[in-house]
Structure 1
Amino acid sequence: MSGKVVEGNTYLDRVEQEFRGLIIPRYKFRRFFEEETRIFFDCDDDDPMGCLKEILERRDLKEFVVLLLTKEKEGGGLKVLDISYRNLGTETLRHFITRYQSQLEPTVKMSLMAGGLEYLALIGYSYEE
């Protein structure tokens, strides 16, 4: 993992600039964002990458969160959607992301379409402790 860690708000500012008119509810996001893994995370240490490595391997996270940018088919309004998946076993965030991309994401996209939303972009991943 060699991605760059930035303040979460810095990344969200870039997303808002790219999608004009979008206002992101900042309370849904954690302090830092790692660009390669696309994970929002918190860290009280001076070593955010060290914190991220620990978070990726933790097996006690209660929920995994996927943050998506969607567009309403009628009206065209943009909105951020967060989808939570309960960690029923001892899955790591790293494993969940792989499973989401290969198994869950296609179903999510179809469900959004059925609900009148268009999937625009993955904003990132997060977690609940």
Structure 2
Amino acid sequence: MVKEFKNFATKNSTLSLTALINAFLYQIRFESSTPDQATPAERFFNTVFSPSLVKCNDAPGTPTRKFHVDDIVRIFFKTGKKWRKAKIIEKVGRFCYRVRLLDSSNGEKEILRHVNEIVS
């Protein structure tokens, strides 16, 4: 194991020490090096792991809120009329949508809203 780490360190000498150790540990834990293509963590726990470790927003049992273009929704405002009618124009990023207000007194106004501020 020490020899493997030294070889890895010489190949990645531009990394800082912390980044080097983290990259080496990730490779050892999650990259396959056996003929059956199972990682050491998968063999030890006898299960298949997702390579993406950053998934903190999907709690079990919570509904996923996804909207489609041309859906009529209500969007939240902090002041004035709290919930106003709007139409989804496009999805911008992972959690944001561009919407067009339908009850706007000064024409059709387009704004961005997070998925937490939108209901069907």
Bigger Rg, structure 1 or 2: 2
Q: Which range, TM-score by smaller chain?
A: under 0.3
TM-score where L is the length of structure 2: 0.26
Structure with the greater relative contact order (CA < 8 A, sep ≥ 6): 1 or 2?
Answer: 1
TM-score where L is the length of structure 1: 0.25
Q: Which has the higher strand share?
A: 1
